[in-house]
Amino acid sequence: MSAWPRWSRQNAPGMLAAYVQRRVTPRLLPADQASRLPGPGEGPPLERARRIYELFAEREIRYVLEDPASEPGRQVIRPPDEVLRLRRHATCLDIAVTFAGTCLDAGLHPLIVLMDPAGAPGSAHALVVVWLGGNWEQPRGHADYPLHDVLHHAAPDAVIDDLCASERETGAFIAVDVTRAAHGYLDGSPRSWADALAAGAKMVTGEQWAWGLGVDVGLDSRDPLPMPRWPTMEPLTPPYQPTPGAGPLAQISARYGKIPFYARDDLDLLMDWCEAPGPAAETRIAIVHGLGGAGKTHLAAELAARMAKAGWYTGFLLRNPADDQLEWLARVAAPVLVVVDYAEAAKTTQIIDLLRVVHERELPICVVLTARAVGDWWNEVARETARDGVRYSLLDRLLEPAHPRTTGVFRATLRAFAPEKNAYAPLPEAPRPVTWTTLDLVLLGWLAAHGDPDLPAEPAEIYERVLDHEFSYWRDTWDKEFGLKPSPKTLRSIGAGISLVAPNEDRVPNLLEKIFGIQNQVERDKVADLLSHLLPTSREDGSITIHPDPVSGHLIVTAMSKDKGLFAASVTNSTATELANICDAISRAEQNDRQKAVELARAALDIRSDMWPQALMLTLAKGGPFVTALEELAEADDTPLPLQDLAELIPVGHSTLRGLALIATQHIASPSESDAIQEMAERANWLNNLSNRQSDTGDRAGALASIEEAVQIRRTLADANPAAFLPDLAGSLNNLSNQQANTGDRAGALASIEEATSLYRTLADANPAAFLPNLATSLNNLSNQQANTGDRAGALASIEEATSLYRTLA
């Protein structure tokens, strides 16, 4: 999917004029630049053209080559929003088309000219020729305009004879090499207006280039292609985001850009993965997972930065992208690399929506998901995208905690912060069985650069030492701003509270009042401004928190475990979004101290039982310390949890919430034993579900007893009303066979699945569309049980029949 159809120079050369947009450029530029755009009659034509060129040069457009994946002879043309506003990457033709539209707005008469290399094959280059003899007038130009045709396959004599190469010369036409306004086109670009005029004239009149096609935009009266909508903000943020004056931890963070990326094979593999040939219509997904501190974010940022240099549109996805942002991402005219950092903490619906929208792109798209682990969050994404027919290929990459070049990372960090230091300083050994993570190596290098004489020997000690430096910096900054130095304990409490809640910038003053008791509004606002300076705002979701995660996790478990009042105040005064942040922060802190994280999770739900939805959504996606707390809350007599909904919501076989699902199923009101058909059916359904939950938690005997009772009830119901209840009986017999097999009753398991298969065969004969899939599944299970009892021939016959049915259904 792209914004506009591709342009064919061979088959529809005149259609190029339809890509030229009027009255769009002013809406794409910042107000101060839009106000400097010339209008019709505002000065001589030559001056108007110069002002437009210089504004284009200010926009920092990045020149890129046409994507090699483009169809031969059919070129993608970027709309002006991609050239001037959001991405600002463009080919020479993209810039020329946008420049021509801006010329029309200024009352200038432009021609878009494609110059071909003379005497040799090669790529064409686009110029804009502008008439200086008067204002452009609709619909056919100025009365004195000397040209009459829309298409020119050779340079018109009127242009050649009256072309000026500089502002000092006189003439009726100029040829502007507008690409010289872009960065990356030539060394030292953007080039000056004078250079663009001289280069354009030389191309038109010289011998190295030949006029291939001219499209007189001012004479073409066709309607332009519809201008697609563009979002107010880009959906992707830059890979690296340096913030001047930031504190120590901000400078150490993976996306600050201060610490150079140290070579590892994972980067080479991912770059090859991006650039490997393959079907453009297939989304490529890489899951990069590993412990906090392994270097996932830095790896993703470096990959995005390098692919951007190769002309890709890359960056980190906003946490809650709007529909128009995803739609724009789907049509952007370049290969795209999207990084979803902390994918397990994002709402899986956001990842699913992204994959649904972009999977129809014509140009390549790669999506990198970073996470601590591949778990149920990915299972949900895979399940939903498969249901929607989204095609993708998957790369699963585990990032080892330790960088393969440990000493190199340590010394690279040391050199980055203290070039004068000994580049061969020794790296302290990690105490067994600890292995330094990549982050540990960076922090050790940073401490060595800042003169710490004895480097720590434990990760927790590293984090403490770095936090000491961080809060010392806060204290000095506080002193400069307010003339006072808060105690280290006060600053530590503020750092822990902010890291736990991760508020947006506009929420900080409120939290300073409610949590830390700063009542004076002026003082609150000053402190909030200072904190937003010390802790730069995340561009993805606008939150403020201490990074990296293992450091903030250490701070949270140590500070909040000691200061119960601070923890209670933080949880009590948080919004719904901040409660989700709290759940995520506690979950990440599990890596630092599992027992303390579990205790904080319990305490959080004790303080705010209404935060169970946030805890549940996070735990559904990634498990973690709230599992036990949620189970305890479900057991309470006055539980706020909707047990009926949970029993249905939690997928069978969920890796971490099996216990909660069993509790929910057990505690919902089980239908009474009765002869009433409706109540019998409800009890059989409940028993069937209970059996599945008991099996998930390892209670094989209980699972068998529950499913046996369910089968007995459904057999009674099916005897009375086969049409209504035979399908349910067949399903329960299938489950019974599984539970009998789990308890070692192979003969019973075979008998049950044989009966289930017989029932499904009868049902499929009467209604193939509804029951052939069930018959195929049952035959597959029958084959397994026949193999378990030594009936190899029967097992082969059953699986052959199942395979035949699956082929029919496919």
Query: What pLDDT does 542 receive?
Result: 86
Interior angle at CA 470, CA 467 and CA 476, nearest 5 = 140
CATH number of 708-809: 1.25.40.10
> Encoding tokens for residue 388?
């929607």
CATH topology of domain 236-398: Rossmann fold (3.40.50)
The pLDDT value given to residue 143: 82
Cα distance between residue 251 and residue 535, in whole Å: 10
Positive/negative CA dihedral, 386, 390, 394, 396: negative
Beta carbons of 445 and 412 less than 8 angstroms apart: yes
- According to DSSP, residue 681 is labeled H
- Predicted local confidence at residue 673, as pLDDT: 66
CA 554 to centroid of chain Cα atoms = 27
Q: Looking at this protein, which amino acid is placed at residue 643? A: L
CA distance between the termini of the chain:
27
Q: Tokens 């003969």 identify what position?
A: 747
Q: What's 183's DSSP letter?
A: B
Helix, strand or coil, per DSSP, at residue 747: helix
Instruction: Give the CA distances from residue 588 to residues 291, 461, 598, 600, in Å, rounded to whole numbers and listed in that order.
Output: 10, 18, 11, 12
Question: Taking a C-beta distance cutoff of 8 angstroms, is the pair 406, 427 a contact?
Answer: yes
**Distance between alpha carbon 431 and the CA centroid of its chain, in Å?**
37
SS3 197: helix
Whether the model pTM is above 0.85: no
Token output for 179? 């690409």
Q: In the chain, where are the structural domains located? A: 7-216, 236-398, 406-457, 461-591, 708-809
Q: Judging by beta carbons within 10 Å of its beta carbon (0-12, 13-18, 19+), is residue 429 exposed, middle or buried?
A: exposed
Output the CA–CA distances (angstroms, integers) from residue 38 to 48, 57, 108, in the order listed.
6, 15, 10
In the chain, the amino acid numbered 489 is K
Are the beta carbons of 328 and 102 closer than 8 angstroms? no
pLDDT value for 69: 57
Q: Do the bridges between strand 209-216 and strand 236-237 make them parallel or antiparallel, or are there none, so unpaired?
A: unpaired
> Which helix (DSSP H) or strand (DSSP E) does residue 26 occupy?
helix 25-28
CA distances to 531, 639, 662, 666, 755 from 643, rounded to whole Å, are 42, 9, 10, 9, 34
Q: Is 639 helix (H, G, I), strand (E, B) or coil?
A: coil
Q: Which among 150, 155, 146, 159 is positioned nearest to 220, based on CA atoms?
A: 150
Residue 451: C-alpha distances to residues 258, 327, 439, 470 (Å) = 18, 50, 19, 14
Between helix 626-635 and helix 576-589 the angle, nearest 10°, is 120
Determine how many CB atoms are found less than 10 A away from the CB of residue 296. 26
**Helix (H, G, I), strand (E, B), or coil: what is residue 504?**
strand
Which pLDDT value is given to residue 766? 93
DSSP structure string for 406-431: HHHHHHHHHHHH-TTS-TTPPPPPPP
Residues of 488-527 as b/e, b for ≥16 C-beta within 10 angstroms? eeebbbbbbbbbbbbbbbebbbebbbebbebeeeeebebb
Q: Alpha-carbon distance 553 to 544, whole Å?
A: 15
Please state, as a whole number, how many other Cβ atoms lie within 10 Å of the Cβ of residue 419.
Answer: 9
- Give pLDDT, residue 263: 93
Whole-number Å distance between alpha carbons of 630 and 651:
16
Nearest to 112 by CA among 226, 2, 220: 220
**Sign (positive or negative) of CA dihedral 378, 380, 383, 384:** negative
| DSSP classification of residue 219 | T
**Would you say how long the chain is, in residues?**
810
Contact in structure between 109 and 158 (CB atoms under 8 Å): no
**Identity of residue 492:** R
DSSP E strands in 202-297: the ranges are: 209-216, 236-237, 283-289
Closest to 543 measured CA to CA, from 517, 577, 589: 577
Phi–psi pair at 793, nearest 5 degrees: -65, -45
Q: Which uninterrupted H or E stretch holds 344?
A: none
SS3 per-residue string spanning 548-606: CHHHHHHHHHHHHHHCHHHHHHHHHCCCHHHHHHHHHHHHHHCCCCHHHHHHHHHHHHH
Backbone φ/ψ region at 215: left (φ over 0), alpha (ψ -120 to 50), beta: beta
Residues 6 or more apart whose CB falls under 8 angstroms from that of 536 comprise 241, 243, 246, 250, 544
**Amino acid found at 76:** V
Backbone angles phi, psi at 743, to 5 degrees: -100, 10
pLDDT, averaged in runs of 10, over the chain (810 residues):
83 96 94 94 94 96 78 86 91 97 95 92 93 84 88 96 93 97 88 96 95 94 88 91 79 89 95 86 92 95 94 92 91 92 87 91 91 92 91 94 90 84 68 81 91 86 94 91 87 95 93 88 87 82 90 97 96 96 96 96 96 94 93 93 91 91 87 77 92 94 96 95 94 95 94 96 93 94 94 95 91
Question: Is the omega angle on the peptide bond into residue 548 within 30 degrees of 0, that is, cis?
Answer: yes
In one letter, which amino acid is 626?
Answer: F
Pairing outcome for strands 392-398 and 283-289: parallel
